[in-house]
Amino acid sequence: MIQHSMIEANGARFHVAEIGEGQPLLLLHGWPEFWFTWEPVMTRLADRFRLIAPDLRGFGDSDKPAGPFAPQDHAADLLALLNKLAIEKIGVVGHDVGGAAMMPFARLAPERIAGLFFFNFIYPGLGARMGAPNSLKEIWYQSFNQMPMAPVLVGASRETCKAYFGYFLRHWTWRKEAFDDVLDIFVDNFLKPGNLEGGFAHYKGTHEGRIAIMKGESPKLPQIETPACVRWAEHDPVLPYAWTDRLSETFAHLDLAKFPDVGHFPHREDPDRAAEEITGFFRRIGWI
């Protein structure tokens, strides 16, 4: 059974869901998600790993930031959370916002991370393609989410909130029914006080970085040496598989493959395969 706790770290309180025994894995959600998005994978991996799924700051039942909150801010939270849990080393699995946070986390504390497993996420090599005309029609929400009117409009009623998040949870999926049975749970989550603004804080915190990526002006950082596995969805409309071609510029030891027959949310659309891919990678690097 999944256990829930509140943990104080880095000046904030974090909701953490946990299940299983074995080597620890940290599961980091994206937007528009919270810890619950990992539930199907957690139940499948509980006999192999200790699964730790926090709500990132701004999301779910964790504290909300006072303003914009960037991946490096999440990285500092994650390190503090590890310290509070007294975990010396951990495997990390992330998607979307969680994946973006994993890169500064890996640079902040490489000695604490056994391996990095990613589903689709934004990285510097995406480049100008993010701003191309056929991409702009997919990433409009990244600008909208920064506007003061965004939480007012999305949170005007349960119907507007459900329409907004229901759009992404169906449009970005290949298996359109993936969230149908839990959509109301996601709506309930984002209707909690502060959760719309908390999730939107990510887009405010990453705006300058996204513009730098589009201009090809991202800082040239050393490759991440920690073993990294990327399983990128075959049918992601917002982050196409073709955009994986420069991942080796960021990761020195990269295991890349296409995740077939899914859209932006492999962990929800095909949790059986997601669990096996995660297990396979951590077994190959000796973390199981």
Catalytic machinery residues: 96, 203, 264
d(CA 6, CA 12): 10
d(CA 75, CA 257): 26
Q: Where are the beta strands (DSSP E) in 55-155?
A: 90-94, 113-118
Strands 49-54 and 23-28: parallel
Cβ neighbourhood burial of 248 (10 Å; 0-12, 13-18, 19+): middle
Q: Name the amino acid, one letter, at 226.
A: T
The b/e string for 224-237 (b: 16+ C-beta within 10 A; e otherwise) is bebbbbbbbbebbe
Q: In the chain, what is the greatest distance between 2 CA atoms, to the nearest angstrom? A: 49
d(CA 249, CA 247): 5
